[in-house]
Chain A
Amino acid sequence: MIPLTPRARLLAAAALAAAAWVAGCAPQRVMVPELTPAPRRARFEAALAARSARSVAEAELNAWPSGTALPQLPGVQARLLLVGPDAFRLRVGSLFGIALDMAARGDSFTAYVPPRRVALETGAARESLGISDPGGLGYRMWSATWRPPDAAWNDAIWEDSLLVLRWTEAEDSVRFAIGSTGLPRWIEMGRGREPGARAEYQSWARVEGVAWPAVLSVADPRGQYGLRCHVTSVQFRRSADRSRLAVEVPDQAAHITREQLKRAIARLGKL
């Protein structure tokens, strides 16, 4: 190495600073905002097709309930089975084994709370729960396979960097935001003009080359009830044995209503 005099060192430093300054003044690459929804729709539909092709998935969940209507509750661990297009099963673990086992297929819904030995079984969830197609709703939520109708793309609007679509499904009004990567960011579903429940896709992971929701939070509009879920150990299956969607309810279990089920689940935090 050639030794430098103090003056030479000063000149070298000045030259470096000047070069940095000149580089800073050089024209920068500017990201041009998207002016039409078409490129984003293309990215969205490609990613949606990839997720939809994996119609059977198993996963583990770490979930933390929260909300102003809830006491401080512990986080829970659960196993999830998704079978597209309209079925899921969720088994929530507890210190005592299984705290809650629930499954939905289309409009049928079963939930069993082993510690309380109570169950809710219905073949017509729309009538008894007020939720039509809970199986399809759950599958779409966990897999983020929401499908906006064509008309919704025509009326899409930009909210900052998000492309927001609106449409109606049965009695629900839906708002759906898609990020620049083409992945869903959030969805809101409400009745009429009432603000609706909101699911946010806060983080995504690559599973076998497919973008899949990794962190999902769901909350009601008043913030009374919420759930934040970390989805891990996702495994896609080629096919599903649909018998694995069946929650076995013992003969001696008491059958309860929707409101009683909500109370039984709320009391699980007291176990």
Chain B
Amino acid sequence: MTDACAMLIAVMLTAASPARAGRLTSVDPVTHALAERLRATGRAEVQIERLSLDPISGRTVAVRGELVLEPPDRAALEFPATGERVTMRSDGGEWLQPGLRQLVRLGAGDAALASRWWELLVRSSSPGFGARRWGERRYRVIAFARGGLAADSANIMLAADGLPLRLEIEESPGSREMYRFRDWRFARPRGREGFVIRPPRDFEVVRLH
């Protein structure tokens, strides 16, 4: 399983070879199908698997979770195995870490940084992104520098129905994360309240300064 995950990441990287780069366009081809479904329903839920290479052990670490999106500005991640949850809104967010028994309150700027790639999915019309096509349903997405955030890039692969299938982020050399999306579901929106985490009893609440 670990070898298979490592192979998958290697294949993704190989697929993103610069030799196949296209011209920079809007991200509409990348987000069009998801944006249409979100416009029609208001809420998306998808199973995710986060794969990351741990350079200390040399192994690929896989964590399953769920991503929820509600336009125009709400995203939430939950990882049941650890109980970790993150919510991101344009006015801030929360990060619940049961392992540390703490809830971190994020300011708007922190949430913007944390939700950068989820913003691509939830706000398809955002002018902060551009895309280059690398192959059949494969794109290199550029996040332009803005608001104190440096430019960044990620690889995204779409499924046959046009919905995101994989998102790969390279934080730094040798430190990559891949999100695999499975079983997209769409429903009516539940509103902001579902994207606010209340601190459990005995948890420390820390506001980032």
Is there a chain A Cβ closer than 8 Å to B2's Cβ? no
In the bound assembly, the distance between CA atoms of A244 and B175 in angstroms comes to 12
**Given A74-B100, A114-B175, A244:B56 Cβ within 8 A:** yes
Across-interface contacts of A64 in B (CB, < 8 A) = 100
Could you say which of B11-19, B37-45, B166-174, B183-191 contacts chain A? B166-174
- Known A97-B171, A250-B173; contact A270-B56, beta-carbon cutoff 8 A: no
CB neighbours (8 Å) of B54 from chain A are 79
CB within 8 Å for A96 and B113 given contacts A74-B208, A75-B97: yes
Interface assignment of B104: CB less than 8 Å from any CB of chain A: yes
Contact of A98 (CB < 8 Å), options: B97, B100, B150, B175: B175
Q: Is A48 on the interface with B (CB-CB < 8 A)?
A: no
Instruction: Using A74-B102, A75-B100 as known contacts, say yes or no to A244 and B208 having CB atoms under 8 A apart.
Output: no
Q: Using a Cβ–Cβ cut-off of 8 Å, how many residues does chain B contribute to the interface with A?
A: 29
Q: Is A81 an interface residue (CB 8 A)?
A: yes
- A53 lies within 8 A of chain B by Cβ: no
Chain B residue with the shortest CB-CB distance to A271: B110
CB-defined contacts of A249 to chain B, threshold 8 Å: 173
Q: Report the bound CA distance from A250 to B104 in whole Å.
A: 29
A75-B97, A95-B95, A117-B150 known; A58 vs B56 contact (CB < 8 Å): yes
If A89-B56, A244-B58 touch, does A269 touch B97 (CB 8 Å cutoff)?
A: no
What chain A residues lie within 8 Å of B56 (beta carbons)?
58, 79-81, 89, 91, 244
Complex partner residue of B208 from A81, A91, A117, A270, CB under 8 angstroms? A270
CB of A241 within 8 A of chain B?
yes
Tally the A-B contacts, defined by beta carbons under 8 Å: 78
B209 within 8 A of A: yes
Contact count band on A: 20 to 34
**Closest CB in chain B relative to A9 CB, distance in Å:** 47
Closest CB of chain A to B147's CB: distance in Å? Answer: 13
Q: What is the CB-to-nearest-CB distance from B172 to chain A, in angstroms, rounded to a whole number?
A: 5
Q: Which of chain A's residues has its CB closest to B82's CB?
A: A77
A238 to B99, CA, bound (A): 29
Asked whether any CB of chain A lies closer than 8 Å to the CB of B86, the reply is: yes
- List CB contacts (< 8 Å) of A98-126 with chain B: 98, 101, 112, 114-115, 117
Known: A97-B177, A269-B208. A114 touches B171 (CB 8 A): yes
**Alpha-carbon distance A89/B169, docked complex (angstroms):** 23
Subset of 15 A-B contacts with CB under 8 Å: A58-B57, A74-B97, A76-B100, A77-B100, A89-B56, A96-B113, A96-B171, A97-B175, A97-B177, A98-B175, A114-B171, A244-B58, A248-B55, A249-B173, A250-B173
Given contacts A95-B110, A97-B172, 14 further A-B contacts (CB under 8 A): A58-B56, A64-B100, A71-B209, A72-B206, A74-B206, A75-B102, A95-B104, A114-B172, A244-B55, A244-B57, A248-B55, A248-B175, A271-B110, A271-B113
